[in-house]
Chain A
Amino acid sequence: MASYPIFVLKRFGQFLLVVFLGISATFFITHMTPIDPVEQSIGAIQQMGQSDPRAVDLMRQSLRELYGMEGSLWQQYVHFWTRLATGDLGPSLSAFPTPVSTIILRSLPWTIGLMTVATLFTFILGNTIGALAGYYRKSMVLKAVSLVFIAMQPIPYYILAFVLIILFGYLWPILPINGGYEMNTNLQLSFSLVLDILRHSILPALSLILVGTGGWLIGMRALVSNIITEDYVTFAELGGVPKNRILRSYIARNAMVPQFTGLAMSLGAVFNGTIITEIVFGYPGIGNLLISAVHAGDYSLVLGLSALSITGVAAAVFIIDILGPLIDPRIRVE
């Protein structure tokens, strides 16, 4: 492990390079889209009401200056990195002059909350059932439960979301189907507000959990099925080690290593938001924000959200890389 610090430095360099290339690519892609935020803004103003054709050129010129969109693409690119280096994502173009960071920070906690809880719940549930189903292969209950989750996995989650809305919002209306909390509610922190927020998150989280559990379950069951044929498991069984202990300490622990890698990747991708889930349930997260930013040609906001997502995923990979040798004795750094 003497070379571990060098390994970490190398991986950190890779992390920075990935972030730089990813954000740069996003910058050029967003600036090459046919949607022009100034024209979108002019369109919005013109569609609002009386528009004087003589005023449009003047409006266009004013908005270009206001949005800082003058200069060549290269100049804008350099300006973008200069600003980003100081942590400034610039103003949103569709919500000018509000900073992109302000808009993102308003939505981010909702996505992180929903996605983190759903991801962890899915991870625990899928791996638990997968491990049990892989080890107790004759259990009819576990077979049935596994079958349910595996059958749900290929269902597009927006379809499941609509089914949940019809079930719990219309036929048996006991759960809220829109938003993050009740309308006109007092947003000062209280037990009832927390309960309200939790209730509003049940259906979006459930749609993610029901569809997402099957993936973890199948993976874990396959890993366990492989591991139970290993010699050390056979020795443990012959040695009279209790079955629960064999499952926990001998099988699940080893099987979890690749699953944790997957978990880290999933948690890194939390920043992506779950666009369709948020739209279907009207959940106030960054998925909804990203879609509206794309439609408005607001590349400042798209870039801000992409930078967050790219950094999140790259950081997750970096952390997995540097923790790998520490948690998995089979990995050796040379």
Chain B
Amino acid sequence: MQKWKKLAFGVALATFGLVGAATAQEYTTLPRKETLIVENPEGTIKNPGWFNIWVNGGGGVSTGLQQLTMDTLWYIDPEQGLGGSAWDNSLAADKPQYNDDFTQMTVKLRKGLYWSDGVEFTADDVVYTVKTQIDHPGMNWSAAFSVQVASVEATDPYTVVFKLKKPNSRFHAIFTVRWNGAWIMPKHVFEKVADPVRYDFANPVSLGAYKLKTFDPQGKWYTWEKRDDWQRTSLARLGEPGPKYVTYVDPGPPDKRTIAQLEHNLDIIHDNTPEGMFTLKDKSKTVESWFPGFPFAHPDPTLPAVIFNTQDPLFSNADVRWALALLIDIKAVDMASYRGTATLSALGVPPTAIAMKDYQAPLQDWLKDFEVDTGKRKIKPYDPTIGQQVADMLRKQPKYKDQIPTDPAAISTAFGYGWWKPDPQAATELLEKAGFKKVGGKWMTPDGQPFKIRLTVEGDTRSVFTRAGTLIAQQWAAFGIDSKAAPSSAVWQGLATGDFQCAIAWSVETWGGDPDLSFFLESWHSDFVAKKGENQSARNWQRWSNPELDKIIESIRRVSADDPKGIELGKDYLKLVAREMPTIPLMSYNVFTSMDTTYWKGYPTIADPYTDPVPNWANSRLMMVKLKPAQP
């Protein structure tokens, strides 16, 4: 027995010795006061050494690669931007110049910008980017360039002229960053490569203010270092980047992210669960969020909704879709999903700051007067006080009562304006109008079958919206519809193939900082609606077409992106989809980004909304300029 005891004691001693070698946990070997540590939501990168962002080769995109080293002609910030407006001429010296019929776009480029290896950026890089991708199917922007560009040429080192196959007043959007854009390739590097599709672009040259310092061969972290010649990049116009090093890391699931930030080892959490955010706010004195108090999260320019497959006969009738909308108690959905922190939207546009000003606020009177004909009577379904009601409800929670705004404008900004009132009686009348019948407490379709709905949700991948979908399905079930939430790991593929009845997802994404709705609306034209059984291209997952909508889209095509007529046409679209309800808009995609001020200060917040704080957006490069060390 003595030998066994000695052995056991030896093993224990060795283990504790190894543990004892650890003092306080160091998270990085770089000087912490000079290093910004950011969560990359892509997780661990499968193909870590792949930096060719122009090919979907399993390398990371938001590892810092697109935020810190890539650049393109223009950016539109989801918030206010730094240069006085959301629109930013980045590599371009000015806005795009179109001819009268939008078949030609001329771009003037900035001078004095250099790649990190000392080669000057010129029009040849832009031309090479387009031609190379057209010549190499399989590259990310190859198809988009192929269908649009007739020719591209550099008329001088700083001027590029695109001739288009068809008129397109929004061609510049391909080179305009929302989340990303068509990044410019370094001609002098790629022209020496045999096959650009199979080239990993190791040791990437950078056009941004940072260059690669080191990365984890296992794909967990990437570190970028400020270029010595950062003044020769487009970001320099806005100021000197603060952090010397920026590390993007996979910090693990929400609980570990929360722990890491509480220990000041993770400066920016990209997204968290509502509960994770509450914990951080409770336990940390140094964590900032977009809103200082409830609802904390940043409303992204993305609109989660109940998306109907309108090619399914059950959902081809607007009366049925409206009936289902009137069965939803949005306040309960808000509490179940976002725990009360949602920014609600009855309209088909995400409630970002610019959309609130240009669309949501101006349409409030129209919404109040808006009527739905149930077949027996006309109802006014809109309740403009839902946002206020959510705020009042939250104020009853002792923990957060002091954080809930009381100013109506602040309430609308945080929680949205209003939404549809639950109205089971009107829903009954609408379903009966559509030929449905209630038999023995269960709803039957016009052909006598049980009315069965499977609402597809993403499961654990997006638990907040899974909770929303589950509750909505339960609310429909309580009304007598055989309804269930159906978790799926392939929601987006199902949306593309049409293999779904209805789903919690989004088919509306906007620029955020710009009122032009063409970013998503162009893809809703009936020309792009797939036949039943065929694959649908993004973003019209509902496969809905309408002659009135086509006219709106065609009118938008004929005006430039900054023409005020575009906003009026946008309002026409919003009124149309409110009447037709091809999707039931729910709320903005609120992102629980939290920012630790222990080492850095100057993060974007509602008080200083210079950019979206969500750090996988390429626009988040603006943060680098504003961030300053919090410690001497």
Contact = CB atoms under 8 A, between A and B. Distances in A.
Interface of A: 34-36, 39-63, 65-66, 92, 94-98, 103, 106-107, 110, 128, 132, 136, 162, 165, 169-170, 173-180, 182-187, 195, 198-199, 202, 244, 279-282, 284, 288-289, 292-293, 295, 297
A53 B538 contact: yes
Contact of B539 (A51, A128, A170, A280): A51
B500 to A, nearest CB: 12
B289 interface: no
B57 A47 contact: no
Contact of B143 (A36, A52, A95, A295): A52
Interface string B483-517: 00000011011101101000000000000000000
A112 B182 CA distance: 41
Nearest to A63: B138
A182 B148 CA distance: 47
The 4 closest A-B pairs by CB, nearest first: A95-B58, A62-B137, A55-B143, A284-B218
Contact of A41 (B19, B56, B59): B56
Interface stretch (B250-258, B267-275, B391-399, B427-435): B250-258
A222 to B, nearest CB: 20
A65 B256 CA distance: 41
Contacts of A110: 218
Contacts of B535: 39, 56, 60
Interface residues of B, number: 87
A59 B22 contact: no
Interface in B1-31: 1, 4, 15, 18-19, 21-22, 24-30
Given A184-B223, A195-B18, 5 more contacts: A42-B496, A55-B146, A65-B138, A244-B1, A284-B219
B19 A92 contact: no
Interface in B379-413: none
B249 A183 contact: yes
Interface of A is mostly: helix
Given A95-B47, A96-B58, A174-B25, A58 B146 contact: yes
A202 B46 contact: no
Which of B48, B137, B200, B497: most chain A CB closer than 10 A? Answer: B137
Contacts of B200: 98
Which of B61, B200, B253: most chain A CB closer than 10 A? Answer: B253
Contacts of A96: 55-58
Contact of B181 (A49, A52, A62, A177): A49
A84 to B, nearest CB: 21
10 contacts: A35-B490, A46-B539, A51-B539, A61-B137, A97-B197, A103-B58, A177-B252, A184-B214, A185-B29, A199-B19
Contact of B46 (A56, A95, A185, A198): A95
Contacts of B147: 52, 54-55, 58
B144 A35 contact: no
A43 B219 CA distance: 22
Given A55-B147, A96-B55, A179 B220 contact: yes
A90 to B, nearest CB: 14
A132 B142 contact: no
B221 A184 contact: yes
Contacts of B249: 183
A189 to B, nearest CB: 13
A39 B496 contact: yes
A62 B143 contact: yes
A282 B223 contact: no
Given A51-B539, A128-B4, A184-B28, A202 B137 contact: no
Nearest to B249: A183
Interface string B294-321: 0000000000000000000000000000
A24 B217 CA distance: 32
A199 to B, nearest CB: 6
Interface string B43-79: 1101110100001111101000000000000000000
Contacts of B177: 49
A297 B492 CA distance: 13
Contacts of A103: 46-47, 58
Given A48-B179, A179-B220, A183-B247, A169 B256 contact: yes
A315 B114 CA distance: 56
A66 B137 contact: yes
B176 interface: yes
B46 A59 contact: no
A292 B21 contact: no
Given A128-B4, A184-B221, A39 B178 contact: no
Contact of B218 (A50, A106, A169): A106
Interface string B143-158: 1101110000000000
A60 B497 CA distance: 13
Contact of A198 (B18, B61, B178): B18
Nearest to A187: B217
B94 interface: no
Contacts of B57: 95-98
Given A49-B181, A98-B58, A292 B46 contact: yes
B103 interface: no
Contacts of B251: 178, 282
B497 to A, nearest CB: 7
Contact of B493 (A36, A174, A175, A292): A36
Interface in B169-200: 173-174, 176-182, 197-198, 200
B221 A183 contact: yes
B94 to A, nearest CB: 20
B489 A295 contact: yes
B25 A176 contact: yes
Contact of B252 (A61, A63, A178, A182): A178
